[in-house]
Chains A and B, each alone.
Chain A
Amino acid sequence: MEQDWIWGLVGGLLIGTGGAVYLLGNGRIMGASGIIGGLVDGTGRNTLAERLVFLAGVILLPILLYPLYGAVDTHVSTNPLVIIAAGLLVGAGTRLANGCTSGHGVCGISRLSLRGIVATVFYILAGGLTVVVFRHLLGVI
């Protein structure tokens, strides 16, 4: 669609404003994998409530906005192998690297963090290569 980039920009500004609120309010970096991961491995026990409340906000707002859109198709793969392998890789990879698109990408690049920039380069290259191989060569996705 023609105006997709405008909504991308609007959404991006909202995401960045969320990150700014989390940083200036709580003094913490808004990284989705870190916030979730701390709940999984117990490292976030002291900040349990704010992690849960954050995730509640992430889930709730799309529920509230959904009626304005009607149907939203996420075009997600229905291949169990693809989904499970992808989920495992995303979970373990983001925890090993200590960040994902929000932590390393948005919060890291915006403070010109070398680690954030290097991480972003690697996950984009790996993602691009994966799509090329699995879509164009193997035809799986």
Chain B
Amino acid sequence: MRLLYAFLAGGLFGAGLFVSGMTDTSKVQGWLDVFGEWDPTLAFVMGGAIIPMAIAWRLVPGRKPLAGDTFPAPQEPKISRELVLGSTMFGAGWGLAGLCPGPAIASLSYGGMWHWVFVAAMLAGMAITPSLRVRLDRLAPAE
């Protein structure tokens, strides 16, 4: 059952990314570019995605997942420097290429060679992150 839910979720995610136009890098960069010809689409995608998710979160308390043991624990509201630094790095890359991890994967079948190059670089970035964390800790030990 877990595999079925995962496939269903992935399919809905991929279909949503495709029909929303979020695999078109010009729409993402157009939304980020407040000084250009601003494209509002991304705000509708975000808003639309948050609605079913907010309903789902409301169903969580007092229940168990249909095919799992526990729901994710509530997060500690701790703003770490990794969160800020990582999000800033991610944002810079997102602005440069107009791609984030979901759309980069969803567009592999039709985006052409440069999407593959992007995903390869993204996987490399993910692979070096554990050692990046170690270096960061050595450079400035977390309090």
Binding site for B on A (CB under 8 A): 4-30, 32-33, 36-37, 40-41, 49-51, 53-63, 65-66, 72-78, 80, 82-98, 100-102, 104-107, 109-111, 113-115, 118-120, 122-132, 134-136, 141
How many B residues touch the partner, as a band?
35 or more
- DSSP class of A's interface residues: helix, strand, loop or mixed? helix
Known: A83-B117, A87-B122. A25 touches B97 (CB 8 A): no
Chain B residues near A122: list those with CB within 8 A: 83-84, 87-88, 91
When the two chains form their complex, are residues A88 and B93 in contact, meaning their CB atoms are under 8 A apart? Answer: yes
CB-nearest residue of chain B to A38: B126
When the two chains form their complex, are residues A27 and B101 in contact, meaning their CB atoms are under 8 A apart? Answer: no
Chain B residues near A54: list those with CB within 8 A: 6-7, 9-10, 13
Known: A84-B117, A92-B129. A128 touches B14 (CB 8 A): no
Interface centre among A78, A90, A102 (most CB of B within 10 A): A90
Closest CB of chain A to B61's CB: distance in Å?
11
Binding site for A on B (CB under 8 A): 1-27, 29, 32-36, 39-57, 59-60, 64-72, 75, 77-79, 82-102, 104-112, 114-115, 117-130, 132-133
